[in-house]
Structure 1
């Protein structure tokens, strides 16, 4: 019996974990190689809002992935909770967007993608100090608690016998006759059936090291910083988005405030200036937070693309190489549809949506 995995995935974030889930459900043997700890990069660091920031300002390819993912999430969250005993805390608490100068585009987008919305009726703003401009209330939009979702997805992968190798450094890739034959890692040599690169902001580094001269996705790290408040439950009526920042209430009362968008290369350090900027926003919008303690401040690196759309494709020059990366700040919300599409392409199934916008060679 062969011990070669059908699929090897480089990258153990939410994209890698849910891609493994999709492929194991189709009967594949899957291994995930992660250079650090599973799920501790961009997937862990974000806020978990299951909607892009102002989606009507994004390319339509983003909205297509979002539409399918929103349909999948309720069932996915339930299945993960029931099969692993770890609740990802999918919470459809609603999203209030206080200022919408492009309200006509916003309404058109909601109607096109069947998103329930309110313009006249809003949640209680008693604890908020905001000056609404064409406010928009999206009562069904959910968030998930990133660390718990990742723990649940990891346990699900373990239950499905996915091989998880953390702190595993890929040192070389052997290619022969247009196929990847093996990987050399600090754990030894590993044969490859099909390789998926889902390494987020590090995807380009892998291409530069192991596939020089091969057409590569254009993905760069974009840093984001967040604060976590220890607040009483029910302080906010739902998630609040004002201009470029947001507040997200967790089920236990803790409130996330974010976030920044910084081009700093692979520097994941936090800064005092950004700390005070986010703190000022949060406490001006919700004055009660002045009495709450800040219990954490962190940064993560999002995988950004020049055109804003992730890459999900089989490589045209190596028959057993695929890429699923570049989701910027929307990795969690787009993950279910992105990973289903990736699995469809690898398994030769009719794709769940048009794959062309996510192709390496697609015009942008």
Structure 2
């Protein structure tokens, strides 16, 4: 049983469905409608060199795996997650030297480029930038389509049951064993319970007397619609980014706000994001955003997710706390989780993500 139907919960279910007798997926709303829908979908941490190596290990595995995951989902559902390899330019970084040193150390294709070449490659880019680094193989995934394709794939599997609008209120305990969950619709039993509830994971674990350091961190974004060839590459400066979709939609993000579970879009954020959009791409001054929304990231210390068994509670597992990188890290996190649950050789060392001793 999997509690939480974001990309982590959906992909966990997808990986397990062919290996176990039955999978039940529960979500408090509609699956994939929270941070998995709201994010930008860059298949890289925004500043990968600033992260702990535990995050880097998951990111590298996922980046290599995403194209084949998208192809598999498209072939089975007809819904294309649109993994779009555009490359990414970082502009005027304060820690450019550290970024380039990280790339040499990790063997990643990141290099310094002159701004004139960036202006030729991205003619709509704003002026005033003096330095740039570039990674050619960075992709973005169209996350709303990713979650739709995952949902469709699961719905086609006879041993998978999805309960939407089914809020989990607590756990069923049989001594030291977690035997299922209590919901507004009644008890639902399961041999193994996986908590993948994003920003709500800590609230659910608190009913067991556990204090998981995962908190909601609000992020707001805006969306423009341009010609399909308007922006050829992702660009990032001063913590804000522009992401082109294949059809000409341009995402601009994002804010970082500690506002509890309030995900109301604000006028202040709208104006700030519009200003960033115009600084990056001046032509957007003549366009009005066609969308503005907010989501809640599952903030965790250093952004390192919790993946594995919860000690002291037989049958309870975590795959949560991915902070800003849920979409980036999902393929590796969910493969690692399946390896641990099924007792297989894990794809990477699971120790940094183990819940034991971390809360």
Structure 1 stretch 184-193 or stretch 233-242: which is displaced more?
A: 184-193
Which segments of 5 or more consecutive residues in structure 2 lack a partner in the other structure?
none
Q: Aligned equivalents of 2:200 and 2:127: distance in 1?
A: 38
Q: Aligned equivalents of 2:272 and 2:258: distance in 1?
A: 17
Aligned to 2:270: 275
Cα displacement string for residues 235-284 of structure 1 (whole angstroms, at most 9, x for unaligned residues): 22211111200000111101000100000000010110110000011012
Alpha-carbon offset, residue 111 of structure 1: 3.1
Alpha-carbon offset, residue 133 of structure 1: 4.3
The one of 104, 108, 111 equivalent to 2:104 is 111
Query: Does structure 1 conserve the Cα–Cα contact (< 8 Å) formed by 2:92 and 2:131?
Result: yes
Query: Does structure 1 conserve the Cα–Cα contact (< 8 Å) formed by 2:243 and 2:251?
Result: yes
Indicate yes or no: 2:53 matched with 1:63: no
Aligned to 1:17: 10
Indicate yes or no: 2:341 matched with 1:316: no
Equivalence map 1:203-352=2 (5 Å): 203-209=201-207, 211-212=208-209, 214=210, 216-352=211-347
After superposition, the CA RMSD in angstroms is 1.6
Indicate yes or no: 2:164 matched with 1:171: no
Structure 1 stretch 170-179 or stretch 136-145: which is displaced more?
A: 170-179
Query: Does structure 1 conserve the Cα–Cα contact (< 8 Å) formed by 2:169 and 2:204?
Result: no
Alpha-carbon offset, residue 362 of structure 1: 4.7
SS state at 1:47 partner = coil
Query: Does structure 2 conserve the Cα–Cα contact (< 8 Å) formed by 1:17 and 1:153?
Result: yes
Give the 3 Å change call, closer, same or farther, for CA 198–225 of structure 1 in structure 2.
same
Indicate yes or no: 2:78 matched with 1:85: yes
Structure 1 stretch 136-145 or stretch 303-312: which is displaced more?
A: 303-312
Indicate yes or no: 2:88 matched with 1:95: yes
Cα displacement string for residues 162-185 of structure 1 (whole angstroms, at most 9, x for unaligned residues): 211000022332211211123222
Alpha-carbon offset, residue 26 of structure 1: 2.0
The one of 143, 147, 168 equivalent to 1:146 is 143
Q: Aligned equivalents of 1:131 and 1:9: distance in 2?
A: 49
Which segments of 5 or more consecutive residues in structure 1 lack a partner in the other structure?
1-7
Alpha-carbon offset, residue 83 of structure 1: 0.7
Cα displacement string for residues 81-138 of structure 1 (whole angstroms, at most 9, x for unaligned residues): 1110000010011111112222232123223433223323644232111433441111
Using structure 1 for the length normalisation, give the TM-score. 0.93
Aligned to 1:131: 128
Aligned to 1:197: 195
Q: Aligned equivalents of 2:98 and 2:61: distance in 1?
A: 20
Structure 1 stretch 104-113 or stretch 352-361: which is displaced more?
A: 104-113
Structure 1 stretch 132-141 or stretch 114-123: which is displaced more?
A: 114-123
Query: Does structure 2 conserve the Cα–Cα contact (< 8 Å) formed by 1:98 and 1:130?
Result: no
Aligned residues: 354
Q: Aligned equivalents of 2:103 and 2:31: distance in 1?
A: 35
Q: Aligned equivalents of 2:257 and 2:235: distance in 1?
A: 22
Aligned to 1:3: none
Q: Aligned equivalents of 2:136 and 2:77: distance in 1?
A: 28
Structure 1 stretch 110-119 or stretch 142-151: which is displaced more?
A: 110-119
Indicate yes or no: 2:351 matched with 1:353: no
